[in-house]
Every structure is written in structure tokens, then in C-alpha cells.
């Protein structure tokens, strides 16, 4: 029975599609005959009126679609902002815990953070955010082994860039280190090219 249904489903789909095409064709033929049967001046007026109505309907539908799209984006943004704030707070806690006299997150807290954040991003995060978070998580897990501090900082900044982009910010003139230098004083030590770029800009 299931095999029969699987076979018949595409057939029914083709039949319905054929009926829709045939119905559309018949409608066009009927409209064409209607315009042929009336006075040319009246037909021109009817055509103009029909075009006006059609344009109005299309404009309203397009406007409604755009409003719906914006509404969805706003709702998603409302869901994302608290998640991103928690992520940034966690990153800053790792970075400034010693200076602020706070304890580093325990292993249990780290596991809870990544579990909760992964769950939230699977639901609300864009594909760029999910990839950036995966890179951040992977780099954080291997930092103790490879000691690649510069790579870790770059990954964190890429993640922050992805968050800002997902919230609608533009990054046309933002370069590597522009966010990092906001909270890391010696960022040029890890990225010497930043110092060269700054000197070129000053010149």
C-alpha cells in the first residue's frame, strides 16, 4: 500500500499541475475573447483599469511580504541579542577575570555554557554564527596544547564580527584587531601587521 502511494503521489502532482496549466490557459483565452467582443475604446479602458488594479494588488502583496520579513527579522533579533550578550559576557569573563578579581570559569561552568549556547544557536543562530562558534569552541579546546594565542584571539574576533554582522552591523572598513584593541592593550604584539597598518594610515 505504501509503495502504491509513493508511486501515485508524483502522478497526482503532475495531474494537478496539468489542470492548473490548462485552467490558466482557458482563463487567458476567455479574457482575450472578452476583450475582442467589446468596443475597442471600452476594451482599452477595461485593460487600463485591470492593469491599475493588478499593480495595486501586487504592490500591497509585496509590501505585506516585506513587512512580514522585517517582523520576522525583528523577532529573531530579540531572541538573539540575549544569547549574544551572554556569549560576550563569557568571553570577557575569561579575558578580564584576573584583573576584575573574579575566578575563572570552572570546567563545569564551561561545559554548561557551551551546552546552553549550542542549544540556543542551533535554534536561533545563523549559519555564519554557528560556524564561528564552532571555530571558537575548537580553538579554545586546543589552546592549551598548541599555545596559539594569536590564533585564539583571531578566532574570538571573527566570532565577534559574525555576531555584529548577524545583528545588522556593516564591516566594510573594519580590519583585524579593531575589536581586539578595544580590550587588549598589547594586541600589536600578537598581530605585528596591525602596527604596520597603523603607521601607514598615519603617514
The domains of the chain are located at 2-66, 69-202
Q: At what angle do helices 40-96 and 2-37 cross, to 10 degrees?
A: 140
Provide the total of helices (H) and of strands (E) in the chain, helices listed first: 7, 0
Would the CA dihedral through 55, 57, 63, 69 be positive or negative?
A: negative
CA–CA separation, 193 and 120 (whole Å): 36
DSSP secondary structure code for residue 173 in this structure: T
Cβ atoms of 127 and 166 within 8 Å: the answer is no
Per-position pLDDT tens, the chain of length 203: 555 555 566 677 777 877 777 776 676 666 666 656 655 655 566 666 666 776 777 777 777 777 777 777 778 888 889 999 999 888 888 877 777 677 788 889 888 998 999 999 998 888 889 998 888 888 877 766 766 777 888 888 889 999 988 888 887 777 888 888 887 777 777 777 555 444 444 34
Total Cβ atoms within 10 A of residue 157: 22
Among 184, 177, 140, 146, smallest CA distance to 161 is for 177
0.85 exceeded by the pTM? no
Per DSSP, the three-state class of 20 is helix
Per DSSP, the three-state class of 170 is coil
Amino acid at each position: 500500500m505504501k509503495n502504491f502511494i509513493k508511486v501515485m503521489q508524483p502522478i497526482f502532482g503532475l495531474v494537478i499541475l496539468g489542470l492548473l496549466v490548462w485552467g490558466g490557459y482557458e482563463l487567458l483565452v476567455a479574457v482575450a475573447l472578452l476583450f475582442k467582443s467589446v468596443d475597442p475604446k471600452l476594451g482599452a479602458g477595461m485593460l487600463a483599469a485591470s492593469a491599475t488594479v493588478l499593480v495595486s494588488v501586487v504592490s500591497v502583496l509585496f509590501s505585506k511580504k516585506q513587512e512580514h520579513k522585517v517582523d520576522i527579522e525583528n523577532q529573531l533579533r530579540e531572541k538573539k541579542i540575549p544569547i549574544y550578550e551572554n556569549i560576550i559576557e563569557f568571553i570577557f569573563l575569561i579575558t578580564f577575570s584576573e584583573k576584575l578579581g573574579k575566578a575563572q570559569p570552572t570546567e563545569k561552568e564551561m561545559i554548561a555554557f557551551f551546552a546552553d549556547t549550542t542549544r540556543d544557536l542551533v535554534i536561533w543562530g545563523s549559519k555564519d554564527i554557528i560556524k564561528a562558534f564552532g571555530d571558537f569552541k575548537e580553538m579554545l579546546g586546543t589552546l592549551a596544547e598548541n599555545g596559539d594565542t594569536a590564533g585564539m584571539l583571531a578566532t574570538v574576533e571573527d566570532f565577534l564580527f559574525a555576531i555584529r554582522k548577524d545583528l545588522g552591523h556593516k564591516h566594510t572598513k573594519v580590519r583585524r584587531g579593531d575589536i581586539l584593541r578595544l580590550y587588549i592593550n598589547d594586541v600589536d604584539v600578537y598581530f605585528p601587521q596591525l602596527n604596520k597598518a597603523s603607521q601607514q594610515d598615519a603617514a
